[in-house]
Structure 1
Amino acid sequence: MSAHGPTLGEVSATDGSWRFERGVDIRTDPYLLDHVVEGAPVFPAAYLVGLMTQAAHRMQPERQVLGVRDVRFVQAARFKDTRALQFSVTAEAAEANRVTVGISSSMAPPREGFPRIHRTHASGEVRMGERVESLARFRPLDFTGAESYEALYRLPREIQHGPTFLAGLRYRRPAQDQLLAVVAPPGRSASGWQEDPRAPGWPAALLNAILHVAFSLGVLCRERTVLPLELASGELHAIPRGEVQVFARRTSAHDDLQTFHVVAWDAQGRRVALFRGFSVREVP
């Protein structure tokens, strides 16, 4: 159980494949109440990526998470009332430094006698290895006088964010297809982005805060509700303790699809993360 982010469940291992399972509902994972889409709590896409990195790190604890690749968000995990979803995270080491991960769930049927409802939520690949400390290469920006990020949390109207997700502080939009923002640990937590430094993988709150900048740009560009679709690749360099500056740029727009690149760095100008090919789709 965690008040701020997802955790893996009980593990079973067979033939090189690890499977983590646990029940998830709004009581065991109250942060879900802070991410409501069209009136129902929804498991955030960035948190699915967080679970992928957790599973890979648990499988290969001697290595560090270097990045993700070919992540596909298949179907949203929605929560109705207090009914639980039985989450299943399956990890398999394709190579020594590569772990493929799939996330699915099952739910009890609405009426007795019917089969359980099964859904696939995401799949992707996690790259593992030895992280090399990133050198300072970015110039920290001054956000004094910039717009309050709260305005972006109110977009779109169909999605409501609570305190767990309120990481953004200030933003600027230097061009139509660009967005700059500064984000901090939700609630300006003294423990930083990761409650427990021994926790495996990457903190979902940090992934969510960075990718939310691109998500917000997608909404601003089209003035429509969008939902995550794919993430071509992501490089993960460091987990900072404090504020992170983020730059999102829209690289393509076609029909109802938009694609973004996102880069983030810490207060010393050291790279935190780089995401390529983050695609969103407009809700019909």
Structure 2
Amino acid sequence: MRHDEPRLGEVSVERGAWRFERPIDTGTDPYLLDHVVEGLPVFPAAYLVGLMTQAAHRIRPHLGVVGVRDVRFVQAARFRGTRGFQLAVTAEPEEAEPDDIPVVISSSMSPPREGSPRILRTHAHGKVVLGTPKERAARFQRIDFSNAADYAELYALPREIQHGPAFLAGVKYQRHAPEQLLAVVAPPGGPQRGWREDRDMPGWPSTLLNAILHVGFSLGVLSSARTLLPLELEAADLYAVPEGQVQVFARRQGVHGGRQAFHVVSWDGQGRPVGVFRGFVLQEVP
């Protein structure tokens, strides 16, 4: 797997629950150094969703990932220095809906003082929807971004967050209205790399999820001029992984109590849908 994609750990199965577990730190996963929030590397929220899809797909490899539902980002996973933790991804199919698989991502860390209990945290939970991918019809208009602004301007906002090469997927952007943002994104490192190195890799590429959702995040930052943290993703319909650049449209749907909700749509160079994200909610940091 390429160095800018997270991976699952060793698997164990007990009473129908699949648990993938491995140690993680900035040495095992150097892309973390390219996502720094207020001075500390932070595991990207979109990568948590990517791990969810990997876990579910490992359980039902004969099906495709067609969506996620009811994702909640509970607590950020931060890294201090070289200290890491044990990352666990737990998926347990339900008898009533065997192809809608709940997934929980958590971690455990050694305590700061000997004799104290290990530090346990839940980082995210949600449900991955598996099924047979449907044939996509072109229904979006391809937009000309030749005279648009450089997306690098958005990566510089807000100043509390720094992005490195593993996350520089945005190419150009346009903003025709305060509540809207259009952008074109490409795989980190250039379109020639593709969104996934191995076609047989399970799940949906985390880099692609991150590139698309970052457009919604950027619109939120432009709208509030504040640092934002993801809270939830109500639902996403996921289609075939494209080969190259993806065009993205984000629209802010509402603001309430420091929370902003967004609708984000993406499509490939032929106008075929890539991903449709509803209820992507961001919270202003106090």
Aligned residue pairs total: 284
Spell out the pairing of 1:139-154 with structure 2 (5 A cutoff). Answer: 139-154=141-156
Identity of aligned residues (%): 64
SS of aligned partner of 1:115: coil
Mind listing any 5+ residue stretches in structure 1 that lack a counterpart?
Answer: none
1:190 to 172, 177, 192: 192
SS of aligned partner of 1:174: coil
* Aligned-pair CA distance for 1:191: 3.2
* Aligned-pair CA distance for 1:2: 4.8
Cross-structure match for 1:163: 165
Name the CA distance, whole Å, in 1 between partners of 2:251 and 2:106: 31
Q: Is the 8 A contact 1:2 1:28 kept in 2?
A: no
* Aligned-pair CA distance for 1:156: 0.6
Mind listing any 5+ residue stretches in structure 2 that lack a counterpart?
Answer: none
Task: Tell me whether 1:13 sits opposite 2:18 in the alignment.
Answer: no
Q: Is the 8 A contact 1:234 1:274 kept in 2?
A: yes
Q: TM-score scaled by structure 1?
A: 0.98
Q: Is the 8 A contact 1:261 1:278 kept in 2?
A: yes
Task: Tell me whether 1:177 sits opposite 2:207 in the alignment.
Answer: no
Cross-structure match for 2:132: 130
Cross-structure match for 1:82: 82
Cα deviation 1:10-32 (Å, max 9, x = unaligned) = 00001111000000100000000
Give 1:34's aligned amino acid.
D
Give 1:205's aligned amino acid.
T
Task: Tell me whether 1:31 sits opposite 2:38 in the alignment.
Answer: no
SS of aligned partner of 1:133: coil
Q: Is the 8 A contact 2:154 2:218 kept in 1?
A: yes
Q: Is the 8 A contact 2:191 2:245 kept in 1?
A: no
Task: Tell me whether 1:252 sits opposite 2:226 in the alignment.
Answer: no
* Aligned-pair CA distance for 1:214: 0.2
Cross-structure match for 1:49: 49
Q: TM-score scaled by structure 2?
A: 0.98
Cross-structure match for 1:104: 106
* Aligned-pair CA distance for 1:113: 2.0
Cross-structure match for 2:223: 221
